[in-house]
Structure 1
Amino acid sequence: MSEQPPAPTSSRGAIDLAALGQPAAQESAAAGAYAVMVSQENFQAVLEQSVTAPVILAAVSPSRAPESVGFAQDLVDVVAEYDGRFLAAVVDVDKNPAIAQALQMRQVPETFVISGGRPIAEPFPGIFTAEELRVLLQQIGQQLTASGIAGRHAPQQVVAEDGEVAADPRYAAAQDALGAGDIDLAVAEYQKLVDANPADAEAAAGLAMAKLLQRVGSADVNAARAAAAASPDDVAAQTTVADLDLAGGHVEDSFNRLIGLVARTSGDERDAAREHLVGLFAAVGNTDPRVAAARRALANALF
């Protein structure tokens, strides 16, 4: 298709996409960190993800339009360049005719822009080149940003053909640096990922842990613990030992030290202790039950 793709216009407001399927675990993204294969089982979950940031849904048919499969891969590749600004969703309508019916498809392939759980533009028919897709996404992004929609998707978990979670190559440079003991480089590599997509929770956790290792790398353990014992309300002394505890695997000791410090201090000192503790939460990971318990304890200490 040689002509430039049109900008989004009106919505097919009569389509009740949410009626398809129930919330379900999302299928693995076969082609990338910002892509997902869609089926009736996970369609509702994909719609829900469009509340955070737009989903670009390509409806393809390997039997009726074999070339649409290559187009879908181009979409996945181009969307990956936007670091979570969009999520590429690909549905095989041969296998999922109910989705095709709900989308009121007129031909295959068709590409839909979904935001807030519903299409926000007339579908784009036919096949676009990678460059035409970049133009289209640029237009969509500008219009959504002007409307105040500026969220980003977190990376999707990529699962290999054997069912195992595949290593995400985006983290390879940072992980290699950690493996080589080059903590400064690891911090820089994780920072790049977080700058590109603040919604990337794995990169944020990696950055927090790398910064922790950076802080404790030159610490004198005995001197640090002696200073903390002598000055129980000194923020710098207590945060240093909290870092050492966490790096040594004593997660709850680390958290409890700073929660107690928050309870005993006020003003700027209390803010510094709280912010440091939140950074340690990120290093451990917000899904860890020890973090959940510590957050409740922190709330009690604050209020």
Structure 2
Amino acid sequence: MSTPAPGAVLRGAVDLSSLRNRPAGQPEAAAPAGGGAPASRLIFDVTDADFGQVLELSRTVPVVVDLWADWCGPCKQLSPVLEKLVTELGGRLVLAKVDVDANPQLAQSFRAQSIPLVVALVAGQPVQLFTGAVPEAQVREVFTQLLQLAAQHGVTGTVPVEGAETDAEDRPAALPPLHQAAFDAIESGDYQAAAAAYEQALAENPRDEDAKAGLAQVHLLGRVQNLDLAAARAAAAAAPHDVEAQFAVADLDLAGGHVDDAFARLLDLFAALPADERAPVRARLLELFGVVGDADPRVIRARGRLASLLF
């Protein structure tokens, strides 16, 4: 699938040898997207010149590396998600941000042909995470698996967090019980239990937009977790009007950040099917719109095309 679980070390595919012997020093903290004070030592910018220290840091604590550029729209969607989740983990992970335009050596070393590209470093070795602006729930699951992988390699340290000891009134509000249950289930990989918790939340409050979005996300995660991208694409190419085959590739595309591709595939399928066979495709489109968010320009464009096909 397009966003594999962490585990495959990219030795040979990624050559970081030229970046190892760099002067030591603390990377400069980066201000989180959206403003606010920098998350000291958790989120920082790195360059070609000082990446060696990040490799050394990865022997103590797992390092998530976000390769981005200022012109990249999906990067601007993904970066706040990465920063939020790394901050929530309270020092168990750190986030190193690499501007590929300003740091061509790193971009070349990581073979950043498409961005955003997110990798990790564990004990000095790169680990593939994902490409594209994937949903928050999936990023959370990947981070959980990354921590498990790091523990298997003895990388279980943490870094100090400024302001960790705050007054109770300054702490984020606790999640509602059913949302917390769903969050815990996602972290353990039990998407069925997460879906049940969100469904119960919606039964109690049909206007719970967070539960609606969460339910759509866990349904997507559950569907793609055992899919093989190459096999799914082959099946879809062999049967262009097979609804389930097209659904599988659309799900994988969306999970991998290829949002427009996912929507275009389903809209093309909708247009090609007889009117009495279109309902499942429309339902899947509406569900994926909920994953991405109704305000997203890609959803707005896709909704417009769907409306034109309906009427």
RCO greater where, 1 or 2, for CA within 8 Å and sep 6 or more?
2
State whether TM-score is above 0.5. Answer: no
